[in-house]
Structure 1
């Protein structure tokens, strides 16, 4: 159980940063302007949150019964996912020089 938890946290951290590090929209479509708009990055962040949540649900199902959760659980997980995305946001918008 410890391995799957560690794997899930590493996967969530990587998935949260991907929208800010990848130049293509959903890793496929190259934007016409050359860089993705922030709205695309937010949409990718939400989609990846649900993908990681689905993987977590599958891992939990492999270990035993899936526990029913209330909205507080999902609110905390969404906040944690946004905190995990902070390094990618800093790299994309605050750390790199403009035009680089």
Structure 2
């Protein structure tokens, strides 16, 4: 896989993973939450924790792809802070659909 394809793969994976907690009410889109009804709603804190875990999963995939292409460059805390901010920005469409859109 060339550098351009790997970069686009990580960007698309980040976009999907950032919106995943807000799109469905299952944990990581697989595990149903236990609740009184079949349509149990995920609390916001669970969605936030899921977002953090998915950030590290996408980062691991990106690091793996970088290692397959060539040398893995060392990163400092600034890289991870900017990456986390970008991940939160990518999650904005899912947040809007879940919490800000009016339901008729």
Range of TM-score over shorter length: over 0.9
2:42 & 2:102 partners in 1: Cα distance? Answer: 15
2:58 & 2:90 partners in 1: Cα distance? Answer: 13
- Equivalent residues in 2 for 1:1-100, closer than 5 Å: 1-27=3-29, 28-32=31-35, 34-97=40-103
1:4 & 1:96 partners in 2: Cα distance? Answer: 37
RMSD: 1.3
State the shift of 1:95 in Å. Answer: 1.0
State the shift of 1:14 in Å. Answer: 0.3
Q: Where in structure 2 are there 5+ consecutive unaligned residues?
A: none
Query: TM-score by structure 1 length?
Result: 0.92
1:25 & 1:6 partners in 2: Cα distance? Answer: 26
Query: Contact 2:20–2:28 at 8 Å: present in 1 too?
Result: no
Q: Where in structure 1 are there 5+ consecutive unaligned residues?
A: none
* Count of residues in correspondence between the two structures: 98
Provide the secondary structure at the position in 2 that maps to 1:65.
coil
1:34-86 deviation digits (Å, cap 9, x = unpaired): 10000000000000000000000000000101000110000000000000000
